[in-house]
Structure 1
């Protein structure tokens, strides 16, 4: 038997992720997306796979190095629509259950995405990006288009709004998402919405005469963070507000099969972006809605912070065909679970709660499900679930060969006392080749957000560190999701306060509890908020031998004006603006560089608009001016998502830099 090895950064090229499982309505067939990375092309490719649940043999339905994703079954279950960039832009394609070539459904200048079938299977609503004055189907002449592209390079960018850039999209081009409808019988495409506001299709009414649409119709966009739901009457073009008077974020709307109810997710932003999303129910006949999970102190949705799954899609709200209840996903106590909610108020968990369920689908009867599940020592696979008995059966084993050659570290969960005596959850991972009686260095990992959650899931970076002989410690300090509204809100206005104390208590607990940790060899790293906290830590304690700060915040004063979210995020989280420079500076790690003695590696992406690279530049120059031990690595053509979905070769370079810095200084 070949001896197993530890995982390496470049193993990302060998690993595959399986996401977005979709059961046909009768529950007999399954389609899902498998994604892998090409080292030669330095890019990701995704393809659709099919499983007949009687035969349980995965079969590739699309091929090649393009991105094929978002498969959606027709109501009859004999066809599916999906999105592919095989023509150069995302367009809609259709496949038949009996096989054959994929048929293109759209060939639009600006592409197409987010398909939603009508309940009779005759139409598909979808999204297309258009400028306010642009109409669907209009095409520029080739010469005119070339001239426009050339001129575009020379034009200055005129900015009149505060929301003019996005980490995901760069400088915004004025395009908004609009809803169009494709008639499958005639091939005719009708543009349903237009203008300066963005719209997205959510779901069709059972009779096909109405469409649920989400949109922010506020005229003042810079200080508007609302998303409302509307019922669009396709026969009269009338639009009725579903969430009128409820200022907040509402989304994920799903019509009950009997047409009597609309279930949706959302919140009224009582705690700004730290507000837990709830489930709401709209009574169509009574024209009234209510929050049906007001007494349930959990986060509805998947808030797990991880670095592996590509294109993971949550299940939303899935009604059973009898309209008596629906399935949904929650983040709770470091795990995600699928729960069934009955209209009589009963709730039942269908999954055990010690894992990350990052995708889920169910048949129309609500008796059979398929879950995409990951654990710390398992990247993820699909499992068939008998909803009545809870019995599950593994359907895929996409990384079987790879897992046979590597040894992955499990994560042991524990609960310790943080600041103010609060219970805080943490995890410890032992190093590769662990031997009783030996001492090992420890790396503390800190997640971003801060409103996210470390969980019982696979994390490639953690496995790379354990393979290098480190103990990995991670925890969910206050501000994290998964532990109720008070817990997730507690960090606001207290950055560097009790969140810092929670993390230091995790280190203290680990040193007291696990005798295999070398207390003299500690390292710390984190990204985004975790990068802020890494900076804060090395400015307030010298207990760590080395630190790596990633895509971090160092100066809240400048962050206010340079981040794509700076002006409002700073006000929400630090609870100060430029009229209170003293408070912003008090919470800025840059103010404490004179106290930073820990060797600090600074990693940042050139095109990070969420935490712009000037945050790293300031920190690096301040430390170098004081002759501190530091190094700055800039990643070209990369944004805030480098560690999760960035260019594969740069993801490798990033992991190697972290590995080598700790090897040198811890």
Structure 2
């Protein structure tokens, strides 16, 4: 992939200030300065001039005025000529409604430097610009005004369509850079007494590229003040002592202890690597120590020991150790060829709850988990059970909680023995002190994702509930689930303090059109203390489109959940193109504000976006999620087609001839499968999709295991109809929809060959297909510039096919050269 011009989105164009080829009216341009180089910096001199300019631009972009060494300079209209010498800054707002190309010409300035939304484009008097649909701020720095040439900024569009609007806007549409770069909370860890919070954040800056700025802070919850800060050597596996007096963590190949009283740090163990998962056990620590497998560098072959050997980490061996903090002595607790992982501890009983996974393919999902109790005093192990759908366990008074699928222990968690269930739909169980296991969530439709203890026996439960991810309080005595009023749609991180009669929790989360916020609250009250607000920090001047719920009842009588994102400056009298997005696999598409699929960005670029949750998704009850099993598109495709038809009927402002669809992974499979079933879509995009069920089952990293749930009991030799007829590859001749295939060339989950199979088939069939590979990218396109390139490629494809605008696509991939004259 080539590097693209940075893309921002913005407000709708106003009629005034429009230009294809003309001098920009100076009433749209603001000037700051001249600033004497004697009292400030010389912009083009010295070894650090680039850094000085970049820092200055960051300040100029954020402030209406600057105090520079005691002198105040403010932005003003550039209608008059400067009356003294010194460096100058000019800024002009720019808005587009489509991909726009042209040249900005600067006259009358010495050594002009052109910045687009704070990033240097070029140092020249003529600067080419490629602008996607959006809002921008152009800023020009110059050493001074030329004596005999009047200042002007001129725009020359490449084509008649390449017009710009220079009218100032107070709020802008959301941009790709905002969605990726904005600071967000990545983890929260609350002390047991609820007084202190360990908070980690991540953000990006253009100058640092793919290198994230990651910071961890120890905060005092009462006033949200920072007590301690890490950046270069951040703590990992951080855990609080039960009395909240110490924080243990791993950093710099050490196990360190931060003493809260005086913020001093003690080194418990030095020069130790591959340590993780610290866990307090009285006055000692339990930890996981991994011995990485080292392959023979001279070996020319590898003999597989199991299917799991395709996983690069599978031969690593992790075992548990106990660290005596007084002496610094480490004691090994477990050993053997299988890695051991800690789930929980019960110090009063001298026991640890651990798990191992022996190789066992005998039954679906072709994996096995052992649940083991380890006596710390004598290292005796007791096998509690071996399970196929095990998800985790925690001790509680007189027993333990277990998370597992509905098929756990011969279907103990099934609501209805006659239906097929999806074991990715997590359930909660109780195992008492005598070993009797009973279901707790059989009639609770949300899927259980994670549990945290509150007090000695109650739980905080993170769930998937439709397209929301809320948290519930589980009262064991009453066996009741109560939703906690967090005020956000999707909980990203949560931590609970158990000390006292009123348990405290902190959490971070987003809503569909609200950026991340973090709060503190007690379980007994809905009052919240705001701890973090990404909206105020990164989106204060950002305008978003509205969102509406849109559900419909399918032909089987099932309610199909959905939501619709409307463009910014939505006009119901217009006809808009639309994008339909789904996963179609075992998880719903959550109401995240941002992520790999930027629905708000697509809406900002002029699309109506319809997101729906077809049959097979968890969080809607066992019957609903069970339709994922042995279906591979059978129910989901019908729901997507029927849902799109209902969506078009209910939304007159959407052009039914300009509707595109897309999905990734299983959703990429759904996109290809849909193309064999319908021509309702004008263009499609499949990212990392599965075209051949047999090849994914046998070659994908998790193919056989995932298929052990999604195709439970079915194999290529006993269900040829499923593996062949439901594979898009074997029905490629039925495809008429133009199809874009996107894939990372280092994808281990869904190997890139899955897109190559379909590309080859459609090319030989003479169908319209494009294949774009992303170099060194795995299943998810995660790195910063690659993410922008991926987003740009996706929307450029739909601009080409749904808006009749090939210019952006042709600029990205000029060899494709779609005919602009026909658009």
Please confirm whether the aligned pair reaches a TM-score higher than 0.5, indicating the same fold: yes
2:288 pairs with one of 116, 120, 127: 127
Measured in 2, the distance between the counterparts of 1:353 and 1:283 equals 35
- Cα distance change on mapping 1:24 and 1:505 into 2, 3 Å: same
What is the match of residue 454 of structure 1? 589
What is the match of residue 283 of structure 1? 432
Q: Secondary structure at the match of 2:470?
A: strand
The 8 Å contact of residues 508 and 517 in structure 2, kept in 1 or not, is answered as: yes
Measured in 1, the distance between the counterparts of 2:200 and 2:550 equals 34
Is 1:325–2:480 an aligned residue pair?
no
2:375 pairs with one of 200, 223, 233: 233
- Cα distance change on mapping 1:324 and 1:232 into 2, 3 Å: closer
1:77 pairs with one of 238, 244, 255: 244
Is 1:160–2:321 an aligned residue pair?
no
What is the match of residue 551 of structure 1? 688
Measured in 2, the distance between the counterparts of 1:414 and 1:520 equals 20
Measured in 1, the distance between the counterparts of 2:267 and 2:778 equals 32
- Cα distance change on mapping 1:588 and 1:389 into 2, 3 Å: same
What is the match of residue 402 of structure 1? 538
Equivalent residues in 2 for 1:247-396 (5 A)? 247-251=388-392, 253-256=393-396, 259-267=397-405, 268-269=407-408, 270=411, 274-284=423-433, 286-301=434-449, 316-320=451-455, 323-344=456-477, 345-351=479-485, 355-364=489-498, 365=500, 366-396=502-532
> Offset at 1:38?
4.8
- Cα distance change on mapping 1:515 and 1:225 into 2, 3 Å: same
Q: Secondary structure at the match of 2:297?
A: helix
What is the match of residue 751 of structure 2? 612
Measured in 2, the distance between the counterparts of 1:49 and 1:407 equals 31
- Cα distance change on mapping 1:292 and 1:542 into 2, 3 Å: closer
The 8 Å contact of residues 68 and 83 in structure 1, kept in 2 or not, is answered as: yes
The 8 Å contact of residues 116 and 202 in structure 1, kept in 2 or not, is answered as: no
The 8 Å contact of residues 423 and 709 in structure 2, kept in 1 or not, is answered as: no
What is the match of residue 138 of structure 1? none
Measured in 1, the distance between the counterparts of 2:215 and 2:363 equals 38
The 8 Å contact of residues 442 and 473 in structure 1, kept in 2 or not, is answered as: yes
The 8 Å contact of residues 203 and 212 in structure 1, kept in 2 or not, is answered as: yes
What is the match of residue 553 of structure 2? 417
What is the match of residue 89 of structure 2? none
What is the match of residue 58 of structure 2? none
Is 1:639–2:772 an aligned residue pair?
no
Q: TM-score, normalised by structure 2?
A: 0.70
Q: Secondary structure at the match of 2:230?
A: coil
Equivalent residues in 2 for 1:128-147 (5 A)? 128-130=289-291
> Offset at 1:190?
2.2
- Cα distance change on mapping 1:197 and 1:408 into 2, 3 Å: farther
Q: Secondary structure at the match of 1:296?
A: coil
What is the match of residue 64 of structure 2? none
Task: Give the superposed CA RMSD.
Answer: 2.6
The 8 Å contact of residues 288 and 321 in structure 2, kept in 1 or not, is answered as: yes
Equivalent residues in 2 for 1:25-40 (5 A)? 25-39=192-206, 40=208
Q: Secondary structure at the match of 1:511?
A: helix
The 8 Å contact of residues 488 and 510 in structure 2, kept in 1 or not, is answered as: no
> Offset at 1:570?
3.5
> Offset at 1:8?
2.6
Measured in 2, the distance between the counterparts of 1:180 and 1:521 equals 60
Q: Secondary structure at the match of 1:621?
A: helix
Measured in 2, the distance between the counterparts of 1:630 and 1:462 equals 24
> Offset at 1:99?
6.0
Is 1:63–2:231 an aligned residue pair?
yes
Measured in 1, the distance between the counterparts of 2:427 and 2:368 equals 15
What is the match of residue 190 of structure 1? 331
The 8 Å contact of residues 454 and 503 in structure 2, kept in 1 or not, is answered as: no
What is the match of residue 613 of structure 2? 476
What is the match of residue 768 of structure 2? 629
Which deviates more, 203-212 or 629-638?
Answer: 203-212
The 8 Å contact of residues 298 and 485 in structure 1, kept in 2 or not, is answered as: no
The 8 Å contact of residues 209 and 785 in structure 2, kept in 1 or not, is answered as: no
- Cα distance change on mapping 1:346 and 1:541 into 2, 3 Å: closer
Deviations 1:573-632 (A, max 9, x none): 245322143431100111222222222111111221211111011111111222222221
Measured in 1, the distance between the counterparts of 2:291 and 2:519 equals 40
- Cα distance change on mapping 1:81 and 1:514 into 2, 3 Å: farther
Q: Secondary structure at the match of 2:442?
A: coil
What is the match of residue 46 of structure 2? none
The 8 Å contact of residues 497 and 504 in structure 2, kept in 1 or not, is answered as: yes
Measured in 2, the distance between the counterparts of 1:565 and 1:651 equals 24
Measured in 1, the distance between the counterparts of 2:705 and 2:531 equals 45
Is 1:665–2:801 an aligned residue pair?
yes
Is 1:116–2:273 an aligned residue pair?
no
What is the match of residue 699 of structure 2? 562
What is the match of residue 8 of structure 1? 175
Measured in 1, the distance between the counterparts of 2:546 and 2:438 equals 42
- Cα distance change on mapping 1:61 and 1:282 into 2, 3 Å: farther
Number of equivalences: 615
What is the match of residue 219 of structure 2? 51
- Cα distance change on mapping 1:617 and 1:520 into 2, 3 Å: same
Q: Which has the higher contact order (CA 8 A, sep 6+)?
A: 1
- Cα distance change on mapping 1:74 and 1:590 into 2, 3 Å: same
Gaps of 5+ in 2: 1-167, 412-419, 803-823
The 8 Å contact of residues 70 and 114 in structure 1, kept in 2 or not, is answered as: yes
What is the match of residue 716 of structure 2? 578
